[in-house]
Amino acid sequence: LGEVWIGGPACTYNVGLIQRATGVKPHIGPDWRFEEMPGEYRLLRTTRGCSGGVVGPCYACPVPRMDGNKLRIVAYSLPVSDSCAILDDNIAQAPKEHHERLVSQLTRYRSIDLNSGWEPWWWREWMWDCWRGLPLVAWRTAFDGMYEEQYARDLITFWYDSGVPQRKIWVYVLCGGDESFDQGFYRCQKVLEWGGEPRVQMYKPNTWLYPRSKPY
């Protein structure tokens, strides 16, 4: 019989459950045997990790456990393609020099998905000057708790006032966690009011095994 490896983001948060069910202890966090394999990947990361937000680590975020609680720049290679997706945990935390270098390498692409978006409390106006000329699929951010209302409002209204159409301002709104339904609904309404498009994400337990169609 071959050796069995188990790993990945979901496994990092369910180590005990998986080990009891399979007898195999999952790998926690990135497995560098695979992370540093050379190749042409349209999905890539240029940084990993995040130092948190205005109130420290975000309560529902898996990033500190998976990728660390400090941002670090990692080796990357851009694909020979007309599109790519960048999956950095918190690219807004990266230094200006990293943004300028990366943007200069992205100008040849016809479509770029900055998938994890911009954490609102790390946003700086020079980032707009740096990135606005690129063909981003959408300008993404999040409004996951009342504690970041000011930061989310300032960022969404800045993009909208700068000419980004509402249909391209995607705002993740986490609902069902530490706050009530009414607070989640309020945040969705505010995103619309400020000029963005709310994208609701339901917070569920790590061990949620029911179909996606089942309400929680």
Banded model confidence at residue 37, pLDDT cuts 50, 70, 90: confident
- Collapsed DSSP state (helix, strand, coil) of residue 14: coil
The Cα–Cα gap between 149 and 121 comes to 10
pLDDT band at 32; cut points 50, 70, 90: confident
Q: Is 197 helix (H, G, I), strand (E, B) or coil?
A: strand
Alpha helices in the chain (DSSP H): 9-12, 15-22, 32-35, 63-67, 96-106, 125-131, 149-161, 181-194
Q: How far is CA 214 from the centre of its chain?
A: 25
CA dist 156 and 117 (Å) reads 12
Q: What is the pLDDT of residue 216?
A: 59
- What single letter denotes the amino acid at residue 79? P
